[in-house]
Structure formats: structure tokens, C-alpha cells
Amino acid sequence: MENQFEDNETAENWYYIIIQDPNTQSEQFVGFSDGKTKEKFLPAFKTKEEARTCFALMPKDLFNGKYDTQAVIEDDLLAVANENGHKIYLLDEKGTILKYLN
């Protein structure tokens, strides 16, 4: 059921992201800073599998908080990123930037 939207015609409007502390008051999208440019960004993925594979390679604070992969509609993702000064990078499972979403 988690991939049901991938088969419909609006699939391009949804992205998977990593959430820290899901379903709590401190829930937030996980963002990073580019080591070279210092630009803040939110990693986004087309599939849950790509998100989980790539997240395993990313630096994270495993001792403070839980993490989950969730689908977010593009408009909501863009609003949160713009509000917080983040870019959104569409990544593959290896962390390669495929596209800039904003």
C-alpha cells in the first residue's frame, strides 16, 4: 500500500523524505548542509527504497531521535523548504543529485 501512488498519474508530485522523530511534537524533515557550498538542503527521493538506501550512507545522529521515510506532496515539501531556507535536491540511492526541485 505504501507505493500505491507510484502507479497513478500524479506520481511525479510526490517525493520521499526522511523525517526525524515522526509522529511527535518535535517531528521535522531531515536536512543537511553541502560541505563545499554550505548550502542547506533537504534530500528527496522518488522511491522509498532509494530514500532508505541513501539515508543509510548519510551522516546522522542515531542517539538523538528516531527516523522514518515518508511520502510528501511536492507543494508541501517546497513550502517547508522555502520557509526554512533550504534547497531540495532529488537524489538517487547513492546520493547523486539528479535534479534541483527549487
Hey, what's the cell of 93? Answer: 540511492
Q: Where are the domains of the chain?
A: 4-100
Q: What is the average pLDDT value for the chain, to the nearest integer?
A: 86
Fold observed for domain 4-100: Trna Endonuclease; Chain: A, domain 1 (3.40.1350)
Q: What is the pLDDT of residues 73-92, one digit of tens each?
A: 999 999 999 999 999 999 99
**Is 73 strand, coil or helix?**
strand
Q: What is the pLDDT of residues 62-74, one digit of tens each?
A: 667 789 999 999 9
Residue 43 has pLDDT above 70, yes or no: yes
- The pTM for the full model equals 0.80
Residue 14 has pLDDT above 50, yes or no: yes
Residue 83 vs residues 12, 36, 76, 94, 98: alpha-carbon distances, Å: 22, 23, 11, 27, 23
Residue 9 has pLDDT above 60, yes or no: no
